[in-house]
Every structure is written in C-alpha cells, then in structure tokens.
Amino acid sequence: MVADNTTHCMDAVHRHFADVVVVDPDLLNLARNSYQLKTLFYETVRDENKYLTVAVSKRNSGFSSLEDLEGTKACFPMYDGVAWNTVAYTLKKNNLLPTCPEIEGMANFFGQSCVPGLVKNESYESLNGNCDEFKGDDGAIRCLLQDVGSVAFVSKNSLKNFISDSTRNKKNATIKDFKIICEDPDSEDCILSWAPVGHAMIRKNTSDLWMKDTLDVFFAIDSLFGKNYKSLTAPFTLFGTFNGKSNLLFHDVTLKFRSQPMSRNLDKMKFEYDQVILEESKCRSSSTTLPILNSLYLVMALYGIQNAFILW
C-alpha cells in the first residue's frame, strides 16, 4: 500500500488501516488533535539535528527582545507547526498574548505576516496563509531575506544549513547578516523550544500492554539493525540512505529509538516541544476517540518524500 502524504498515513492509523505512523514535529499537533494520536517513541538525534526554534532577524533590525516584535511582520514556516505553536506559547508565557484563542492573539500582536497553510478568516486578516512560496524553514528564511517580513521563526539548525548551501542561499547571506532575538537576555543559545526529528505515533486509546509489546519490537529491531549494531556487515540498516534515497523508513540522522525525546538521560536541554503543545492544547478541542485494532500494521511516512509504506 502507498499513501500520498503524511496526513494520509495519519488517517490510515485513525481508521485502523495501520497502527503506527512516523511524523515530523511540525505535524505533531495535527496528529494529536485531528487524528487522536499519541507518541509511542521518538527518533532521537544529536543537538545539531534537533529542531531548535529561534527568532531570527537581520543584523541591523534594532530588535533586542520579544516585546520589540509587536506590530512587526513575521515569517512562519507553516501554521500549527513547531515554530508557530512555540511562539504562541512563549508570548503567552511572557504576558504578551491573551490566553485563548491564540490565533487572534497572534494576529493582534504581529503585523501583516506570512503563515502558510492558515485558512483565511476576517478575524485575523493580518495573517496571510496564501504565501506557499515561503513555506517551510527555507521559505521563512527567504521571506526574511526578501524583506517580506522582519523576523522569521525557524530552527537554528535550518538557518545554518541554509547559509552553507549555495544552491538554496541565492543571496549569499552569511551568519553575520542575522541575529537571534532572545526571550532571556542571559540565555546562551536563545532557543525557544526544541524537538526531535520524528515521532512514532499510535491511536490515543491503545492499551498499555499493546504499547509495551510494540515498543519491545521496535527497540529489538533498533538493537539489531540500528547505528549501535556491532557487525561490520549488517544485512539491513534502519537509519541511512538506500539506493541513493534518504530518510526512507526513518530519518538518516536518527541515533536510536527512545521512549523519551532525548538521546541520553544526561541531556539537559530545556523547552522540549511536547510540553509546549500540551499547554497549547488547552485552547483546542479534541476529536472523537477510536476503538482498538488487534492486528499490527505499520505505516512509515517518508520525510520529505510524498510516499509511505505499510509493512507487515
């Protein structure tokens, strides 16, 4: 079976055609609220591969705090993604937005802004969802470089990767052309939130016993075919390219599967994105719950590729 995109894969789990779907963090809120899914395990990675949400402006912008961003034009990678939800949460935490609904608060706080995927509504006309040319982190960075917006909310790692890639960085921008705006002036990294690269998700009402059994299966597969496999000639590898294609089953950069988002227990990075959307979910309504399917199927949504596989 082939699915067209990740949302179709989430719907397959929702409708009991599959049991597990792997999604990137930008779709985590959608998976939870629209498809009634929850996280089974995480694809953990090194810090340089995490999604590290930051507020970025041009070096000469004059912004020095989040309060300075009120009324300015903003560039978001997408509506309801990591950056959008993190900014809404952070502004509310600093008493710069009313508690709910966050979308109207964001419209009142920012000026004319690009939010790809947002449905047009008279209640928040300042937020433009019809700007797909600036979709994604690369798009939000280009939105900033082209002066469509004065601040972009993207991953710190996405900015580094964009700058180092001449095929994407058409304006030859350097890291010196940007500055990161901090929530806390004393912060060393100014990160507003962070997320692992992938979440394996299941139906929200799945039993604890089924979850344990399924986790055991994935952890066993990881130990045999993951990056810590001891053999020099592994017959199959979970993480890495195959036949010239990347991110097939899981992200190439994944270190291991864990029931926690960090790759090791000593990881002390604050502001994990799961906690952000738990707070944000208080403003949102839930969908209907679903019964449990007995047989085990697996839908793997490809990251950046519009296909998915069902394995059994």
> What's the average model confidence in pLDDT over 243-253?
76
pLDDT in the model for residue 86? 96
Half-sphere exposure of 175 (CA within 13 A, CB side): 7
- Give me the phi and psi of 46, to 5 degrees please: -70, 165
Same domain for 200 and 108, yes or no, is no
Contact between residue 309 and residue 6 where contact means Cβ atoms under 8 Å apart: no
Same domain for 18 and 127, yes or no, is no
- The proportion of the chain whose per-residue pLDDT surpasses 70, expressed as a percent, equals 83
Same domain for 55 and 182, yes or no, is yes
Q: Is the pLDDT of residue 306 over 50?
A: no
Query: 191 to each of 50, 56, 194, 207, how far by Cα in Å?
Result: 11, 11, 7, 35
pLDDT in the model for residue 296? 43
Tokens of 50: 């995490």
pLDDT in the model for residue 250? 79
Answer with the one of 146, 163, 194 that is the final residue of a domain: 194
First-residue to last-residue Cα distance in the chain: 11
Q: Is the pLDDT of residue 309 over 70?
A: no
Question: What CATH code is carried by the domain that includes residue 13?
Answer: 3.40.190.10
pLDDT in the model for residue 265? 53
> What's the average model confidence in pLDDT over 154-183?
95
> What's the average model confidence in pLDDT over 123-140?
94
Q: Is the pLDDT of residue 289 over 60?
A: no
pLDDT in the model for residue 257? 78
Mean pLDDT of the chain: 84
> What's the average model confidence in pLDDT over 203-227?
88
Tokens of 205: 């009402």
Q: Which is it for the CA torsion 45, 31, 141, 247, positive or negative?
A: positive
- The proportion of the chain whose per-residue pLDDT surpasses 90, expressed as a percent, equals 58
* Stronger pLDDT, 141 or 288, i.e. the higher one: 141
Structural domain harbouring 183: 51-194
Same domain for 185 and 56, yes or no, is yes
Answer with the one of 168, 194, 220 that is the final residue of a domain: 194
pLDDT, tens digit, for every residue of 53-108? Answer: 999 999 999 999 999 999 999 999 999 999 999 999 999 999 999 877 889 999 99
Does the pTM surpass 0.85? The reply is no
> What's the average model confidence in pLDDT over 214-239?
75
Q: Is the pLDDT of residue 50 over 90?
A: yes
> What's the average model confidence in pLDDT over 26-34?
93
Q: Does residue 305 fall inside a structural domain?
A: yes
Amino acid, res. 142 = R
Same domain for 203 and 80, yes or no, is no
Per 3-state DSSP, the chain is made up of helix, strand and coil in percentages (nearest 5) of 35, 20, 50
